[in-house]
A and B are shown apart, each in its own frame.
Chain A
């Protein structure tokens, strides 16, 4: 529809005959009609409309309008302990703060411009190979995590983490991206020269695989063109007599390296998925580093975030 209605800038004459589009006097119509019109716009437009006039303000803030912007299943997702004076307030709250769902295993939030759902699967919600073996992984609480526990990687040879979510939980007609949300401890090792293989796919189907580097420091080195030299004591591969291969020349874009998030954590993109609303089943995401055969450690995993691409 966008192509049929050209962008209206400023400078068009006001009201009546001066306006090239004529004048549609909405105030002639009953309030609920006006609210219906507004519900066909967007959260941003509804906020703009509340500034137009007192009549528009009252219609644009009505529950009929904001009910439409909230996910259709929001009643089921919101814990009954939370109550709000209006649907607009509920919408606002869900944009500003995530809520924990599924027994604290996942978080849910709304993307403010579109109202589409954003999820984070906690580390406890993921399938982590060797995750229950204390020599390899341990579970700790961090104040800066939204979940009760995060997973700390002590030391593994075989790194494999998988997450899944029912596609029906995602907003329809939306392109989503999945990111691993994590931190590196000061002594992190084993991630600088060997990339991990990540993928996003519909369960049972062949998905999109990518290679990424889980080493935040490497990301910085690439950007600043510093020649990497890892002769540190913590390079276990050297202890084991394995020669660390020479890191390859910078390849791929910036999204092969971790980025810093607004909440202080790092994230690395695992892949994208377009939900047209017709697919049933589960979306699967995975992070694997099993080819190098070397030991690695020093990561703290908060979870996997699934959010709309902007």
Chain B
């Protein structure tokens, strides 16, 4: 990583992105790394989990965030940015979590929250997120009773 106005980040696919340093350090992880001894080898190792697409997206995300955009435009842009399918959302989520980028994480969690809100019932939630029901029948019945006050 070069300690200059721009940081070069290398992703798992060996692609190098040039990102303004002020944007790069929005990732808590990268911020921590810049204070450590810098070596390309080190960077390679640490970034191995992060595939190309994610890095590019985040770089763009931060460029836009840091430009002086009017609030309304920003929220429009954010809505479009997160209008992706589940697989992409999953990647964004993992990346935001791994790179510790708070604003990105907030955006993704809200979007996933919206997906949940759109699910009409428990079975649809299971299907949407590929979750298996690991409750015993009686346990499930008990929980349903306990939560019946909220008309689920």
**Cβ–Cβ contact B151 & A54, under 8 A:** no
**Cβ–Cβ contact B131 & A21, under 8 A:** no
Task: Report A11 CB to chain B, min CB distance, Å.
Answer: 9
**Cβ–Cβ contact B79 & A48, under 8 A:** no
Q: Which of A11-29 contact B (CB under 8 A)?
A: 12-16, 19, 21-29
Q: Name A residues whose Cβ lies closer than 8 Å to a Cβ of B.
A: 1-2, 4-10, 12-16, 19, 21-30, 33, 36-45, 47-57, 92, 95-96, 112-113
B43 in the interface (beta carbon within 8 A): no
For the complex of A and B, the 9 pairs showing the least CB-CB separation, nearest first, are A40-B113, A22-B86, A15-B130, A47-B147, A22-B87, A23-B130, A24-B86, A47-B150, A24-B90
Chain A residues within an 8 Å CB radius of B93: 24, 29, 33
B94 in the interface (beta carbon within 8 A): yes
Among A4, A15, A44, the residue within 8 A (CB) of B150 is: A44
Chain A interface: which of B13-21, B29-37, B50-58, B116-124?
B116-124
- With A9-B120, A40-B109, A53-B126 in contact, do A1 and B114 touch (Cβ < 8 Å)? yes
Chain B residues within an 8 Å CB radius of A7: 118, 120
A51 to B145, CA, bound (A): 11
A and B contact pairs by CB, cutoff 8 A, 11 listed: A8-B115, A8-B120, A12-B124, A21-B85, A24-B128, A33-B109, A38-B113, A41-B116, A44-B151, A48-B121, A53-B132
Instruction: Please classify how large the interface on chain B is, using the bins under 10, 10 to 19, 20 to 34, 35 or more.
Output: 35 or more
A268 to B61, CA, bound (A): 52
- With A33-B109, A112-B149 in contact, do A26 and B125 touch (Cβ < 8 Å)? no
Chain B residues within an 8 Å CB radius of A24: 86-87, 89-90, 93, 112, 115, 128-130
Task: Report B123 CB to chain A, min CB distance, Å.
Answer: 6
B41 in the interface (beta carbon within 8 A): no
**Cβ–Cβ contact A52 & B118, under 8 A:** no
Task: Report B72 CB to chain A, min CB distance, Å.
Answer: 15
A246 to B112, CA, bound (A): 61
Q: Which of B3-40 contact A (CB under 8 A)?
A: none
Task: Report A183 CB to chain B, min CB distance, Å.
Answer: 28
Chain A residues within an 8 Å CB radius of B123: 10
**Cβ–Cβ contact B113 & A21, under 8 A:** no
Chain B residues within an 8 Å CB radius of A49: 116, 125
**Cβ–Cβ contact A43 & B150, under 8 A:** yes
Chain A residues within an 8 Å CB radius of B112: 24, 26, 37, 40
A7 to B133, CA, bound (A): 22
A38 to B152, CA, bound (A): 16
